[in-house]
Amino acid sequence: MILPPRGPLRVYATLTFFDSLVPGIMLAGGVLFFTKVAHLDAVEVGSGLSLAALAGLVVAVPAGRLGDRVGHRRLLIGLSLLRGLILAGYQLVNSYPVFLAVACLAGFAESAVAPVRQAYLGAITTPVNRVRTLAFNRVVRNVGATLSTPALGVALALDTPVAFRALIGLGAVSVLIVALVATRLPETTTTTTAGPGPDPDGTARAKRMNPKGMNPKRTNPKEAKRSRVLRDRPYLTLSLLNGVLIMHMELLEIGMPLWVTHHTRAPAWATSALLFTNVLVAIGFQMRVGRTVTTVSSAARVLRRGGYFLLTAAALFALAETLSPLLCLTALFAAVVLLTLTELLQSAGSWGLSYDLADAARLGEYQGAWSVGTHLTRSCGPFLVTLALSTLNATGWLIIGLIYAVAAAGAIPLARRAEAAHGARAKTPQPTTDTALPVEVPAPHKA
């Protein structure tokens, strides 16, 4: 894994590392904090987190639009500070109503920051290096999440309220560090004129802005108030399809542990070993998979390939129920490798489609819309997966695999339609006022 050159892309990777510590800490540590320290029951925690995820849906697109207008960097800093304060606010939770209020605030902040962060990265990269850069940051995120597990292990070993409070405090500090790192990023906009040529560190694109980081080409106020992405039906359809394809995360995090524990003869340590295998494969192959996505059509093709992989993995999970311990382990490890490759293919394909089919002048707004499908699946997916596997058993795996494969195959015709609409939109002149002022473009800084 080669570090990006000095400049915005390396600073962004540092930001990603500290941001990745939070999910690793909160994934299990947050739930244990709420049950052991705040004395909530599991149903209250689960319902509160699901409601928080649903609440976040309403802010994704508006937050992206706001970032397009005021600058993604400054909004990223503000939202990171807000996230840190909200995480610190978990220390005050002592009842379900308070927990629900703080969790919904956290849901708002998490949903708002995601499209802003993605739009900023899209603005400092080019179509040539974008997917490769996103793949690198995904590897950094996996590494950070893995390195945060020792802190969780210490808290579990001590098993005291102070230990769990310190764990949540560590998550809040990590987010505040994200805000501090973001101050080192240059402000930029999504309406850069940079072409697809070399810009390895992202500096040239970040420099193409006016002194205040605002859009130098002023859009008609009436046009600015309209949400263009909500009228872009091909793009919205693809975003919902991508939401279905993100289901591999629920299968890995929820479906696989439940299935291995209750429906197979695998040893007790199998679940942790399988999750560790997922991390190793993701870190080792994310960059390689990312290099295969260079166009809209290649992005759609890797999504379809991921559908084939997940269908095969689902069949192996179903088969594992009937096998001896040794053969069962073999089938489970093969299934997890295929499931992880599905994850890598889906993420790379999603990046290619979400950026290349977006309106470059409204990148934050489009990234916000793209995240809606993901939020829907993350909020409803756990219930659907557990329902299918608990009531249908092995047949549930096969049904999920078939649905996923069919949905993945639909990415190609939908991507063609969206690409045609995107090309037609790009040829249409955008309305502007006559008061646009000339802007002096600074010379690119050489790292």
pLDDT at 428: 54
The topology under which CATH files domain 8-191+204-210 is: Growth Hormone; Chain: A; (1.20.1250)
183-228 pLDDT per residue, tens: 999 987 544 434 444 555 555 555 544 334 434 444 454 445 556 7
Structure tokens at 363: 């990148």
Which of 359, 247, 255, 349 minimizes the C-alpha distance to 304?
349
What number is the average pLDDT over the span 325-345?
95
pLDDT score at 204: 53
At 210 the pLDDT is 39
The mean pLDDT of the chain is 82
pLDDT digits (tens, 9 = 90+) for 336-383: 999 999 999 999 999 999 999 888 888 888 988 888 888 888 778 888
pTM of the model: 0.76
Instruction: Give bridge partners of residue 219 from the DSSP assignment.
Output: 432
For residues 66-75, average pLDDT: 90
Separation of alpha carbons 87 and 173, rounded Å: 9
Confidence of residue 40 (pLDDT cuts 50, 70, 90): confident
Helix, strand, or coil here: 125? Answer: coil
Mean pLDDT within 399-423: 92
Which fold is adopted by the domain 230-426? Growth Hormone; Chain: A; (1.20.1250)
Q: What percent of the chain has pLDDT over 90?
A: 38
Which pLDDT does position 7 carry in this prediction?
85
Q: What is the pLDDT of residue 436?
A: 32
| Confidence check: pLDDT of 446 > 60 | no
Q: pLDDT value at position 84?
A: 93
pLDDT tens digits along 274-320: 888 998 999 889 889 988 888 999 999 999 999 999 999 999 999 99
Lookup: tokens for 69: 């207008």
DSSP string, 321-376: TTS-HHHHHHHHHHHHHHHHHHHHHHHHHHHHHHHHTS-GGGHHHHHHHHHHHHHH
**284 contacts 271 by C-beta, under 8 angstroms:** no
- Distances in Å between the alpha carbon of 356 and those of 231, 241, 409, 422? 17, 16, 19, 9
In the predicted model, is pLDDT for residue 81 greater than 80? yes
Instruction: Supply the pLDDT for residue 342.
Output: 96
pLDDT at 156 over 80: no
- For 212, residues 6+ apart whose C-beta sits below 8 A from its C-beta are 71, 187
What are the pLDDT digits (tens) for 339-349? 999 999 999 99
What is the dihedral sign for C-alpha 175, 253, 308, 389?
negative
Break the chain into its structural domains and give their ranges: 8-191+204-210, 230-426
Report, as an integer, the average pLDDT of 141-169.
84
Q: Show Cβ contacts of residue 58 under 8 Å, excluding neighbours closer than 6 positions.
A: none
Q: Do domains 8-191+204-210 and 230-426 have the same CATH topology?
A: yes
Q: Please check the confidence at residue 132 and state whether its pLDDT lies above 90.
A: no
- CA 219 → CA 29, 191, 330, 424, distances in Å? 46, 11, 58, 19
